[in-house]
Amino acid sequence: MSTFSAPKGTYDLIPPDSAEFLAVREALAAPLLRAGYGYVETPGFEQAELFSRGVGESTDIVTKEMYTLTTKGGDQLALRPEGTASVLRAALQRNLHRSALPVKLWYSGSYYRYERPQAGRYRHFSQVGAEALGAEDPVLDAELIILADDAYRSLGLREFRILLNSLGDKECRPVYRAALQEYLRRLDLDEDTRRRIEINPLRVLDDKRDSVQRQLADAPLMRDHLCEACKAYHEQVRELLGAAGVAFEDDPRLVRGLDYYTRTTFEFVHDGLGSQSAVGGGGRYDGLSEMLGGPELPSVGWALGVDRTVLALRAEGVRLDLAPGPRVYAVPLGEEARRVLFGVVTELRREGIAADFAFGGKGLKNAMKSANRSGARCALVLGERDLAEGLVQVKDLESGEQSPVPLDRVVTAVRAKVG
């Protein structure tokens, strides 16, 4: 056993669990590929200011959860706590916004937040995300929500809910902000929360503490302060989702944990996960580009948690149809047989047939035990006598039947047997 272990709050993905995570990532990405989203990959760390500007200086992510470091040259860097700011930075740096809009991108990777480890919340976690940059269009908002809904349903998830809200825009949000601040200043809150009221009062609505939530029962709601343009925009999103058969719940208190959201905001929750019920979410962020020093670039996106989605699948008892293991297991007996049979295995693999090999010079008994444990459909056994006769013994591991096949026809015979 090694003297080292994974850092607290992180995990290693190893077989067989890793196959489930890979299948989830592929399923979440599949609808995006069909809708014309191109893949983007960004560094695991960025300038810390990218997140303090974009995510928000008053957020828990920046003030409490971000992993930061100082380079030998004095640069302040941070492990990425979320994906949107990095993707937008990359798009602006490479001038993608000067091409046809919207620019539609998707990504997959690991993210890092210093949180209290618990079921469904880790300090290292995996997400699949999508961003549509450069268009203010309710159809685009609806498209992304529908694509996420399709992805979850393709996995077999049924017990998730979609929460939907509008956070207004630069015209109506200031009026609501002032009304909310006036209400919050009258409450019995701690000093940190009172400071948050002055920086971004919407963050207080996202406070999960019961002592705070009880005092927010009569807090003003954004929906009562939306301007006519935001009302019309939000209604179009709702109508498009309804026409597509996507069920959702209006949640006037939904604000999510990031400062950059405007207008459409949504969250996917699964009640089988307890207090950490969110499996994904996102929204529109029309002013983020300008916050990062870029041009006006209205955008919308989401991120779906791979870890949370796996937990949701397990909560519903959904078993994925995972990629099978080897269909063929090769058992050589003797050095010359090892050389010849390894060549057969290589050819099978090139023909698209999953095949494995009894490495390490195992005897027949131990090699056949490995073959049975592998889940293979058939075994290829080659000994000295078979080699002299130009034959390979093909054994059906389900029925136990065994028959000799000419060595030069074994690939064809195996393909016919296992498909």
Q: What is the CATH number of domain 17-172+226-316?
A: 3.30.930.10
Binding-site sequence positions: 82-84, 113, 127, 131, 256, 260-261
Model confidence at 311: pLDDT above 90:
yes
* Pick among 3.30.70.20, 3.40.50.1460, 3.30.420.130, 3.40.50.800: CATH of 328-418: 3.40.50.800
Two structure tokens written together for 217: 């029962």
Yes or no: say if 226 and 172 are a contact pair by the CB < 8 Å rule: yes
Q: Give pTM, 2 decimals.
A: 0.89
Binding-site sequence positions for L-histidine: 82-84, 113, 127, 131, 256, 260-261
pLDDT of residue 58: 59
Share the mean pLDDT of the chain.
Answer: 91
**DSSP β-bridge partners for residue 155:** none
Model confidence pLDDT, tens digit, residues 196-255: 888 888 878 877 788 888 888 888 888 999 999 999 999 999 999 999 999 999 999 888
Yes or no: say if 172 and 144 are a contact pair by the CB < 8 Å rule: no
**DSSP β-bridge partners for residue 118:** 121
Model confidence pLDDT, tens digit, residues 143-173: 999 999 999 999 999 999 999 999 999 899 8
Domains 17-172+226-316 and 328-418 share a fold: no
* DSSP secondary structure, 28-60, as one string: HHHHHHHTTPEE----SEEEHHHHHHHT-TTSH
Two structure tokens written together for 53: 């500007």
Average pLDDT over residues 264-279: 90
The residue extents of the domains of the chain are 17-172+226-316, 328-418
Model confidence pLDDT, tens digit, residues 45-75: 999 999 888 777 656 677 778 899 999 999 9
